[in-house]
A = this chain, B = another copy of it.
Amino acid sequence: MARETVEILEVGLRDGLQMLDYVVPTESKRAWLEAERLSGVKRFEVASFVPAKILPQMADAAELVQTAKASDVYACALVPNLRGAEGAFAAGVDAVLVPASASAAHSVANVRRTREQMIEAVAEIRTLRDSLGISAHVEVGISTAFGCTLQGDVPEADVVWLAAAAVEAGADGVALADTVGYADPALVRSRILAVRAAIGDRLTGAHFHDTRGLGLANVLAALDVGIRSFDASLGGLGGCPFAPGASGNIATEDLVFMLESMGLDTGIDIDRLIEAQQCLASLLPEETLHGKISGAGLPRNFARRAAA
């Protein structure tokens, strides 16, 4: 009997590296991508297209896209504006991810633009994509969709409104992100159902953090209401700037372990994925990696499957 599939988007090369205070060499990023690709991971968020003087870590964004395409994996890039999208499309991405914060306070603080201005950017990027006659997707990631460190609660109505506005502006897909680790399983279920009621299957994925330990419980809650695409970062890389020592992203290897244990099909060979985590640890020896399965080891009765 065919198992139900779940898609994983590895976001560590962008979300995990972005906060580091030193620049990781392109060769190291390539080695990471290659190790993880060999485990069966097929989708990567490889970089942000932002000016190199603002974020030197991402200066090699176009090279990373080319590496991914040469390896025949899906390459997504974060773009905060039209200029970023121009660079990403020129580099040949499969998708651009435009962040739009549901929290009014966070939007202004984080990208110095209002939510309405971010929706205008989505429309511009969609128009550009269409004018280029390319097939790259325009995805919108709704950050602070479950709460915000600046304003606290983020009303459900704001999230639903922003998701609908993103689709209206031309987004091919919308994902909900728990940017600051405020989500809980009950909120995850209610918010996903509310957004789906508004935009249907344009709601494509979810991005959870493990800052407060609920990352995988939130994934389970989202699975229960039909989400089948999740972001994660190898080794849980991705700091949480306001909580030193706390982890940010859920660890890809723990996520894959949970999904495969439940009988879902990620197409990923977990032994090789754990090897990729060890590769990452050697590439970034200064970083503390998170996640449990790499250290604890697989259950002896774990049903192994080859990478798809």
Contacts and interface: CB of A to CB of B under 8 A. Distances in A.
B217 A293 contact: no
Interface string A244-277: 0111000100100110011100000000000000
B295 A246 contact: yes
A214 B291 CA distance: 10
A130 interface: no
Q: Oligomeric state, in number of copies?
A: 2
Interface stretch (A10-18, A42-50, A179-187): A179-187
A182 B293 CA distance: 11
A231 interface: no
A7 to B, nearest CB: 19
A168 interface: no
A258 B214 CA distance: 7
B184 A258 contact: yes
A177 interface: no
Nearest to A211: B296
A201 interface: no
B261 A184 contact: yes
Interface residues on A, range: 35 or more
Interface stretch (A76-84, A146-154, A158-166): A146-154
Nearest to A181: B296
Nearest to A236: B213
A210 interface: yes
A243 interface: yes
A289 B35 CA distance: 32
A240 B296 CA distance: 9
Interface string A217-251: 10111001000000000000000100101110001
B212 A300 contact: no
A257 B293 CA distance: 23
A24 interface: no
A258 B152 contact: no
A6 interface: no
Given A220-B221, A263-B186, A299 B246 contact: no
6 contacts: A182-B299, A186-B261, A210-B292, A212-B293, A213-B258, A243-B295
Given A210-B292, A213-B293, A243-B295, 15 more contacts: A147-B301, A181-B299, A184-B261, A185-B220, A186-B261, A212-B257, A212-B296, A212-B299, A213-B292, A214-B257, A214-B261, A217-B220, A220-B221, A240-B296, A243-B296
